[in-house]
Structure 1
Amino acid sequence: MLFLHFPRAAGLSDRACLPPPPPSGLKEISSLASWTVSSSKPGCGVPALRSPSTSQFWQSDGPQPHHLNIHFFKLVEIVGIRIYLDFDLDESYTPTMIKFAAGMGYVDLQEFAVMRFEQPKGWVSVDFEGVGDPAEDPTATDENEEEMDLDEEDEKENSLRKMPVLRCMLVQVRICENHQNGKDTHLRGLQIFARDGVRREMKVGSMEIEKKASEVRMGLGGSSNQSSRRTKKKVWDLEMPGWSTVEQLR
């Protein structure tokens, strides 16, 4: 279990509580969904949880388990989720067990992760071991990989393509237990990540253009019909959407 702690010194503004940027090659898509909760205290509902500042939080006001439902309007491919918990601030409101489920709707939700916590503090990555196979990236073919040298950033993107992918329209977070047998709960942040296919397409396209220009300068620019056809095919491949059968969300 990975804990990322971003401490806040006393007297700092909410800017100091802002979440870290998305990992390289990913984009945060939770703003594309409709959020609902099973219960909440006045002033501590969805708007507080959706706030970029972790100084605000959702506080439940009802029996356990407490539910958070994140409903997307289109099919999405999720490669990562992280939540923010802070035992130092929340004590008995801090979860000790959270279950995560996903599906196309409420009738077909399937549990994919159960996580237990002991005095957590910071951003925690949700376990994706129970999620399906990695999604194929149409912008990164074997032909492209063979003809382009990979720098450190490319290697990171390659590793992202091997991440398990959760295809769904609904994500449900179930908070089942709290520290010290607490009844209600606090959740201070939640982020959902998908691959940034557009960024990858732009990078691959830029590298292809640079490579072609270099060949022309060296007198190796493809003048034959065969070379021309090969170049056109690559350009067509680069224009294919990076989401496969899933529409690009922005």
Structure 2
Amino acid sequence: MPESWQDLQDNSNDIDNSEIQDEDEEVNEYKDPVEEYTEGSRQIEALGLMDIGPMGSWSVSSFKQGCGVKELREDTPLSFWQSDGPQPHHLDIHFSKRVIVSRVSIFTDYSLDESYTPSKILVLSGTGFHDLVEVMTLELDRPSGWNHAVFTEIQGNKEGLKTFLIRILVVSNHQHGKDTHLRSVKVYSPQTTHTFDTSVLGPFTSRVLLSESTIR
């Protein structure tokens, strides 16, 4: 039996309402990358961790002009490293002395990068390039925000990962993309306090020196 005009009108309203609901959900799903970046950083620091990335020497397998290590190291999710070569792509962070790493945090944003967004990342560690071994795998599904490789959760490794070299290896991207984007990478270690031995230089009398006599 043919549908009445009223039935057709009701169906039309249902379609319109569902489309509006879908649009509302898409709007609600949007997350401001700067807010996510800032809030996530605060949450990590609240765990008593500090970024030791500045202590390391950074290098990448390839990069597009204007999207290299400098842009990756900027403290913002609005700049990024973009690879410019064959897969897999990698980022190396080499320390001159052994460090303890609690976690490596990687900021990605599928809504901005789409096919440039990593879908599988391996984290490798070693004393040098000759003995790198895989220590963790990250599988990402349209990620937005910070993704963490937490080494203190590995059984028998509560203190963290002791290493000289960390390699972040991007194995594959979403939508079979070739080159990749990483918007920020931070290497976190437990905060430690070191106090100067004043027995050699004598006790500090300057308020400025006293305030600087403890390093976090």
TM > 0.5 between the two?
Answer: yes
Instruction: After superposing the two structures, state which structure 1 stretch, 37-46 or 108-117, moved more.
Output: 108-117
Paired residue type of 2:32: R
Q: 1:15 to 1:124 in 2, by over 3 A?
A: closer
Task: Give the counterpart of 1:92 among 107, 112, 115.
Answer: 115
1:184-228 Cα shifts (integer Å, max 9, x gaps): 0000011111111218x9xxxxxxxxxxxxxxxxxxxxxxxxxxx
Report matched runs for 1:22-171 at 5 Å: 22-128=45-151, 131=154, 133-134=156-157, 163-171=158-166
Q: Is the 8 A contact 2:122 2:170 kept in 1?
A: yes
| Structure 2: runs of 5+ lacking an equivalent | 1-28, 196-214
Render the CA deviation track for 1:140-199: whole Å, top value 9, x for unaligned: xxxxxxxxxxxxxxxxxxxxxxx3410001000000100000000000011111111218
Q: Give 1 or 2: higher strand fraction.
A: 2
1:20 counterpart = 2:41: yes
Q: Determine the structure 1 residue equivalent to 2:31.
A: 7
Superposed structure 1 runs of 4+ greater than 4 Å apart: 14-19, 129-132
- Encode CA deviations 1:111-132: one digit per residue, 9 max, x unaligned: 0011111100001111437846
Q: Which letter maps to 1:193?
A: Y
Secondary structure of the residue that 1:180 maps to in structure 2? helix
Structure 1 residues 6 and 172 mapped into 2: Cα distance closer, same or farther (>3 Å)?
Answer: farther
Task: Give the conservation status (yes or no) of the 8 Å contact 2:102–2:152.
Answer: no
Rg (Cα) greater in structure: 2
1:172 aligned partner: 167
The answer to whether 1:195 aligns with 2:190 is yes
CA contact (8 A) 1:129 1:164 kept: yes
Name the CA distance, whole Å, in 2 between partners of 1:108 and 1:131: 20
**CA-to-aligned-CA distance 1:66-110 (integer Å, 9 cap, x gap):** 010000111101111111010000000000000010011001111
Q: Distance in 2 between matches of 1:88 and 1:16?
A: 13
User: What TM-score do the two structures reach when normalised by structure 1?
Assistant: 0.61
Q: CA deviation at 1:29?
A: 0.4
Matched-pair contact (CA < 8 Å) for 2:37–2:107? no
Alignment RMSD, CA only? 2.6
Identity %: 39
- Please state how far the C-alpha of 1:8 moved relative to its aligned partner: 2.0
Structure 2 CA distance for partners of 1:15 and 1:115, relative to 1, 3 Å: closer
Partner Cα separation in structure 2 for residue 31 and residue 25 of structure 1: 18
Q: Matched residue of 2:151: which SS? A: coil
Give the gaps of 5 or more residues in structure 1. 135-162, 202-248
For 1:153, the equivalent position in structure 2 comes to: none
Contact 1:112/1:131 (<8 A) preserved: no
- Corresponding residue SS for 1:126: strand
Which one scores higher on RCO, CA 8 angstroms, separation ≥ 6?
1
